[in-house]
Structure 1
Amino acid sequence: MTPNELAARHPRLFHVTEPGAWPSIERHGLLSTNAALVHFDAPRDIIAKVSAHPRPATITLDHPENGTLILNDQLPLNEKALTACLDGGLSPQDWLRILNDRVFFWPDEANLERLLGARINRGRTRDVLVFDTLSLAQAAHDRMELSPINSGATIRKPARRGPETFTPISALSYRNWQRKRGRRDTVREVTVLHALSNPGAHLLEIRSHHSATT
């Protein structure tokens, strides 16, 4: 799939973060969880905690030179439910490693709005970074992968997931993606492995979203 093919169907990519995070992101890049742990010299106990279990709350990383970074929680990810829906002999810790190696983008604004309005997000304010898909995909094409599911959620009836969940964008044309996944457009997530440097080159706007408490 070329950047143009992806951008023709999903012209914008959306990344959800904590309010006020952009100055740090602009300075250090959009970092995966594992990249952030390294870049901010996280203590060993934090690294062990992040590797072992889904995050029930945000985690703040402080560094004397790099400043502060907040790792998003993983509230939609229940460890027991995750264990029951993994394929390929993967353990929950294997899946956490897969997730923590990636930066995630929503390619569909309707799905994004459902996430932001979900019960677990009620009363929260989030910043949504809106990126130009074509520009971002051209810069990160060799490290970009697609998922047909919300890979970080196990709410209600969780989709099966395993080694084949993430597909490198360069491996299939859009037509072959549809043949593999079904006739409907099922791209639920766009991911970039490890980190996205110079995110400001692709940023279109920053939106503040506050979810009502009821």
Structure 2
Amino acid sequence: MTDADLEDLLSRSPVLFHMAEAGSWPSIRDKGLLSTSALVDLYGITGVARDRIEAERRPGPVVLDHPAQGRVVIRDNAPLNIRKLGRALPPDLPVEDWLRLLNGRVFFWLSRDRLGRLLGARLYREAAHDVLEVDAASLVAAHRARIELSPINSGVTDPFPAPRGPDTFRRIADYPYAEWQRKRGRNGEAAVELVVPGGVPDIADHIRRVVPMRGDREEGTLWERVASGRAGG
């Protein structure tokens, strides 16, 4: 990806979106937006309990509680169909390793349309969520060397399991942006996900708004950046 490609991407996607569990914003503000693996590290989860979180499908959210760290909720990954996922991976990549790879990253949508599809999915449309709206240029300026891009929704297998593997995620410098533009057309999605391994400890510095949502309905504003500083909590 060239600098011109990156400029084009940021002009098309000035705001990134992350859907978090309802009530997660105070913890995210204080701890940063951490990957699942970073959270289980922080909470000292080991052995079988850790494998169930990192290397298996989570049909529901997982609550972690610690007297010093407080309470956090790890989201489910229910949209994954393990059987279909196995068919989408190369033969030398076990499903468990792919799940660990996903759990080592945090994910942002590059379009509000993608966010809307997730919020409107049958599994989530009646649930409440904290949606982070992130300034894309600010995040890229701070974390460009670590950021990766994906041309697919790496966390779903329906309606069909797009092929995927370790090279699904490419650093900005290595991402074939122009190639995906040619394949999908000028108005298509040359990238679908923006991904940060480990997480974004300073995520609060890059957020524009935090919005509680249920389906496609905004239910107020939890926090909003204003020109003179921060407001709303």
TM-score of the superposed pair, with normalisation by structure 2 = 0.84
Partner SS for 2:18: strand
Q: What corresponds to 1:109 in structure 2? A: 112
Matched, 1:161 2:147: no
Q: Following superposition of structure 1 onto structure 2, how do residues 1-80 of structure 1 map, counting pairs within 5 Å?
A: 1=1, 2=3, 4-80=7-83
Q: Give 1:161 deviation, angstroms.
A: 0.7
Instruction: Evaluate the alpha carbon distance shift between residue 9 and residue 122 of structure 1 in structure 2; reply closer, same or farther with a 3 A threshold.
Output: closer
Q: For the residues of structure 2 that align with 1:72 and 1:146, how far apart are their CA atoms?
A: 21
Q: 1:189 aligns with which of 190, 193, 215?
A: 193
Q: Give 1:178 deviation, angstroms.
A: 2.9
Q: Percent identity?
A: 40
Which structure 2 residue ranges, 5 or more long, are not aligned? 217-233
Measured against aligned partners, the alpha-carbon deviations of 1:46-70 in whole angstroms (never above 9, x if no partner) come to 2021233111110011111111111
Q: For the residues of structure 1 that align with 2:143 and 2:209, how far apart are their CA atoms?
A: 19
In the alignment, residue 147 of structure 2 is paired with which amino acid? M
Report 1 or 2 for greater relative contact order, CA contacts < 8 Å, sequence distance ≥ 6.
1
Matched, 1:129 2:135: no
Q: Give 1:203 deviation, angstroms.
A: 0.6
Q: What corresponds to 2:230 in structure 1? A: none
Q: For the residues of structure 2 that align with 1:120 and 1:176, how far apart are their CA atoms?
A: 34
Q: Give 1:33 deviation, angstroms.
A: 0.7
Number of equivalent positions: 211
Instruction: Evaluate the alpha carbon distance shift between residue 161 and residue 172 of structure 1 in structure 2; reply closer, same or farther with a 3 A threshold.
Output: closer
Partner SS for 1:149: coil
Partner SS for 2:149: strand
Partner SS for 2:123: helix
Q: For the residues of structure 2 that align with 1:15 and 1:96, how far apart are their CA atoms?
A: 19
Measured against aligned partners, the alpha-carbon deviations of 1:22-54 in whole angstroms (never above 9, x if no partner) come to 111111111011011001212533202123311
Q: Give 1:176 deviation, angstroms.
A: 4.9
8 Å CA contact retained: 2:14, 2:135: yes
TM-score of the superposed pair, with normalisation by structure 1 = 0.91
Q: For the residues of structure 2 that align with 1:199 and 1:137, how far apart are their CA atoms?
A: 11
Following TM superposition, the consecutive aligned residue runs of length 4 or more in structure 1 with deviations greater than 6 angstroms are none
